[in-house]
Amino acid sequence: MSAEELSGQPTVVVTTAGSASTSGTILHLRERGYRVVATDIDATAPGLYVADRGYLVPPGDTDDFLPEMRGICLKEDAAAVVPLVDEELAVIGELEDEGIAVLLPRSGFVTACLDKYALMKRLAEVGIPVPATRLASDWAGDLEFPLVVKPRSGRGSRGVAVCESAAELGRLLKDAPYSAGDLVLQEQITGPEFTVSVVAWRDGAVQAVVSKEIILKRGVTKFAVTRRNDRVAEVCRAVQRELRADGPFNVQLALDAAGEPFIFEINPRFSSTAPLTAASGVDEIAGLLGQALGGGPALTDKWHEGLVMVRRWADEFVDEAHFGSHGFRPGREMPDYLGPVVQALR
């Protein structure tokens, strides 16, 4: 497509180009008529090369991240940003001050979810079921094993462990790279685990709740199946009613022996299983983009149950000139084997 043709398309910046689902999201948005600019901290992130343009950026938890993202958005005349990694979420909403739509919940909800201990306390206060939870610094042997141990802030399965006994927990706490006040202990709910896309926007209405039972998880969800569960939907709608995300969020929960869902984490962003949500009939990312940019219709809670996602590697093929045209600047850290290639193709 020519530069003239691209200039007439709304530009969307999609972050975290190296994550499992981002390349597919970028390609999907391009198919829907958007010009997509991708960002990542790593030059080997595949999504950089399937986007219309790619940039390397500092990590989202550094002071340099927001100014760099602001510059990219202004340079590329971006209409919207889709952030997909937790480290970015606390600050990237500030881009709305530049008139850029940021597809996130409201800032208060984001802040609440990023503190996993505070979130559990808040949910319990409003009557939403959560596992028994303590800070490691406050534990007095009052929780039954097995216990899930995880950082108070962090994403995915990083730093998460399951302890079967007090001795095992003691060893973990001794060796952990976190203080006891920065570690959360949580009762393990051992029934089926669900990851749930809750689709909402600024008017507060829940447009859809798409629940997916996890079949296989290794860091990220590998296999999952769309599965309707009225009680799961009810609990997830209660989160929006009580905490007012007013934007997309992902609920992680498990069922106990009686089938009652217990929320153990909420991601205040789109899930890595968003492609399964879209395939089932609720195109949450493109749909909310349309609403955020004006005029797009609300989505409906009509989706296909029993659809299985099988996550896999996929090869993409791009023109050599396109591969080298992503505007990487000298001095940015990149692997030795890739840096000369990018520089030679500039």
pTM of the full structure = 0.89
Q: Which residues pair with 223 in a beta bridge?
A: 216, 310
Provide the pLDDT for residue 172: 87
Task: Determine whether 175 is exposed, middle or buried from the number of CB atoms within 10 Å of its CB (0-12, 13-18, 19+).
Answer: exposed
Q: What is the 3-state secondary structure (H, E, C) of the chain?
A: CCHHHHHCCCEEEECCCCCCCHHHHHHHHHHCCCEEEEEECCCCCCHHHHCCEEEECCCCCCCCHHHHHHHHHHHCCEEEEECCCHHHHHHHHHHHHHCCEECCCCHHHHHHHHCHHHHHHHHHHCCCCCCCEEEHHHCCCCCCCCEEEEECCCCCCCCCEEECCHHHHHHHHHHCCCCHHHEEEEECCCCCEEEEEEEECCCCCEEEEEEEEEEEEECEEEEEEECCCHHHHHHHHHHHHHHCCCCCEEEEEEECCCCCEEEEEEECCCCCCHHHHHHHCCCHHHHHHHHHCCCCCCCCCCCCCCCEEECCCCCCCCCHHHHCCCCCCCCCCCCCCCHHHHHHHC
Q: Which residue has the tokens 């990487």?
A: 328
Fold of 132-187: Dna Ligase; domain 1 (3.30.1490)
Spatial CA neighbour of 246 closest among 63, 83, 102, 78: 102
Per-residue pLDDT of the chain (346 residues; tens, 9 = 90+): 444 344 578 999 999 999 989 999 999 999 999 999 999 999 999 999 999 999 999 999 999 999 999 999 999 999 999 999 999 999 999 999 999 999 999 999 999 999 999 999 999 999 999 999 999 988 888 888 999 999 998 766 677 899 999 899 888 888 888 887 889 999 999 999 999 999 999 999 999 999 999 999 987 899 999 999 999 999 999 999 999 999 999 999 999 999 999 999 999 999 999 999 999 999 999 999 999 998 899 999 999 999 999 998 888 888 887 777 655 444 444 444 344 334 433 3
Any idea where the domains of the chain sit in the sequence?
3-102+315-345, 109-113+190-310, 132-187
**What's domain 3-102+315-345's architecture?**
3-Layer(aba) Sandwich (3.40)
Q: Which residues pair with 237 in a beta bridge?
A: none
Fold of 109-113+190-310: D-amino Acid Aminotransferase; Chain A, domain 1 (3.30.470)
